[in-house]
Amino acid sequence: MSATITSIAHYLPPDIYTNEYFEKYLETSNEWILARTGIHERRFLKEGATSDLIVPAAEECIAKRGIDKNEIDCILVATVTPDHNFPSTAAIVQHKLGIKNCWGFDISAACSGFVFAMATAASLVNSGAAKKVLLCGGDKMSSIVNFNDRAQAILFGDGAGVCLIEKSDDEAKGMLDQLLFIDGNGGQYLHQKAGGSAKPASHESVDNQEHYIYQDGQAVFKAAVVGMADVSTEIMKRNNLTSEDIAWLVPHQANLRIISATANRMGIGPEKVMINIDKYGNTTAGTIPICLSEWLSNGKIKDGDNLVLSSFGAGFTWGAIYLKWHTNGVI
Ligand code: UT7
Which amino acid, one-letter code, is at 292?
L
Q: How high is the pLDDT of residue 136?
A: 98
Q: Distance (Å, rounded) from C-alpha 166 to C-alpha 247?
A: 22
Residue 331 has pLDDT above 90, yes or no: no
Residue 235 has pLDDT above 80, yes or no: yes
Residue 232 has pLDDT above 80, yes or no: yes
Q: How far is the CA of 151 from the centre of ligand 1 (A)?
A: 5
How confident is the prediction for the chain on average, in pLDDT?
A: 97
Angle between helices 256-266 and 30-37 (to 10 degrees): 30
> Which pairing describes strands 190-192 and 213-215: parallel, antiparallel, or unpaired?
antiparallel
pLDDT band at residue 184 using 50, 70 and 90 as cut-offs? very high
Q: Quick one: DSSP state of residue 34?
A: H
Q: How far is the CA of 143 from the centre of ligand 1 (A)?
A: 20
Q: How high is the pLDDT of residue 330?
A: 74
- Name the residue of 191, 255, 277, 288 whose CB sits within 8 Å of the most ligand 1 atoms, as the mutation to test its pocket: 255
Q: How high is the pLDDT of residue 282?
A: 98
What DSSP string describes 256-279? Answer: HHHHHHHHHHHT--GGGB---HHH
- Does the annotation mark 74 as catalytic? no
From 112, 120, 326, 322, select the one nearest 237 (Cα to Cα): 322
- Does the annotation mark 102 as catalytic? no
Residues 6 or more apart in contact with residue 218 via CB below 8 angstroms: none
Helices (H), 76-130: 89-97, 113-127
Residue range 222-231, pLDDT digits in tens? 999 999 999 9
Three-state SS at 200: coil
- Name the residue of 36, 81, 260 whose CB sits within 8 Å of the most ligand 1 atoms, as the mutation to test its pocket: 36
- Does the annotation mark 61 as catalytic? no
Q: Distance (Å, rounded) from C-alpha 119 to C-alpha 178?
A: 7
Domains in the chain (CATH in brackets) are: 3-167 (3.40.47.10), 174-324 (3.40.47.10)
Residues 6 or more apart in contact with residue 194 via CB below 8 angstroms: 200, 201, 202, 205, 208, 210, 211
> Which pairing describes strands 3-11 and 158-167: parallel, antiparallel, or unpaired?
antiparallel
Whole-number percent of the chain with pLDDT over 90: 98
pLDDT band at residue 328 using 50, 70 and 90 as cut-offs? confident
The catalytically annotated residue of 10, 74, 102, 282 is 282
224 Cα nearest atom in ligand 1:
6
Rounded to whole angstroms, what are the CA distances from 145 to 71, 84, 191, 209, 211?
37, 16, 12, 10, 9
**Ligand 1 site residues, Cβ closer than 6 angstroms:** 28, 32-33, 36-37, 111, 150-151, 154, 217-218, 220-221, 224, 254-255, 258, 282, 313
Indicate whether this model's pTM tops 0.75: yes
Q: Distance (Å, rounded) from C-alpha 146 to C-alpha 143?
A: 9
Residues 6 or more apart in contact with residue 112 via CB below 8 angstroms: 180, 252, 311, 312, 313, 315, 317, 318, 319
Q: Distance (Å, rounded) from C-alpha 307 to C-alpha 325?
A: 7
- 8 Å CB contact between 75 and 102: yes
Rounded to whole angstroms, what are the CA distances from 245 to 249, 260, 267, 310?
11, 18, 11, 16
Residue 329 has pLDDT above 80, yes or no: no
- 8 Å CB contact between 15 and 181: no
The catalytically annotated residue of 74, 252, 306, 326 is 252
Residue 278 has pLDDT above 90, yes or no: yes
Greater model confidence, 204 or 328: 204
Question: What is the mean pLDDT of the segment spanning 172-177?
Answer: 96
The catalytically annotated residue of 102, 111, 136, 291 is 111
What sign does the dihedral 218-223-226-227 (CA atoms) show?
negative
What DSSP string describes 299-311? Answer: T---TT-EEEEEE
Q: How high is the pLDDT of residue 264?
A: 95
pLDDT band at residue 1 using 50, 70 and 90 as cut-offs? confident
